[in-house]
Structure 1
Amino acid sequence: MTVTYVIDGAEVTGLDRFWPVIGAAVNGPGGYFGSNLDALADCLSGGYGTPDDGDFVIEWRRHELSRRALGHEETVRTLQRRLERAHLSNRPALRERLAAARAGRGPTVFDELVQVIEESAPGVLRLD
């Protein structure tokens, strides 16, 4: 039997809100299901609340609200924080991505989340 985890797009008002929203969807209030992209990928691999057989769906309702909240403005904020902590060798690429985001170009935080979910657990994401 397929288990469905529901994310309400209205609750995802920024990347910092995404983590507790998906954590609660999968593991109940206060639940954990990642706190960065790498951790999300790990959680999607199993053992963090999803069924062992991998038979689950993440239904992201009203995802367009999240898409707007996690758009280029949030991407700029997120990339600025990453840049502060980045290794020197990673900074040029981050600066390039930051400049693109400031110009309203390139992938957004929303795009990154969708990509991680689709690559780590193909077929589980439903955008409604």
Structure 2
Amino acid sequence: MEGCASAINLNKQISRKRYKKLIEAMNFTKNAKFSNVKNLQHKVVGWKSSNLLFNQDYELVGYMDGTKVFNIVNEYIGEFINGYISLKDNRYESGEPILTTEANIEFYKQNPYIGFDVSFRLFGEIV
């Protein structure tokens, strides 16, 4: 096509999203010091940078105040201990029970100093 100042791109939004995610990932790893956040299967589900918590899509999902972990709407989630987000008890102080699967109970038995895994409350993967 002569005289045409632009090209047709039927995949424009997907390309932008992929490019944007790539740039975010590069900036994230280049500019931030981060550590892994793991679930009870020791799988990396996100990252901690300073006091901020990011999922694997580089979205902010929570923050920390000391070792206490909160979601982005300021709900208490648990404690950050050795790369895990956990609770020592199977209930919150309010009495609300946490979801405890067989795998989570086994994790607790093997790691009583860490507690029950509650990373799924930020990262969405129940194990």
Higher helix share: 1
Q: TM-score interval w.r.t. the shorter chain?
A: under 0.3
Of structures 1 and 2, the one with the larger relative CO (CA 8 A, separation 6+) is 1
TM-score by length of 1: 0.22
Using structure 2 for the length normalisation, give the TM-score. Answer: 0.22
Structure number having the greater strand percentage: 2
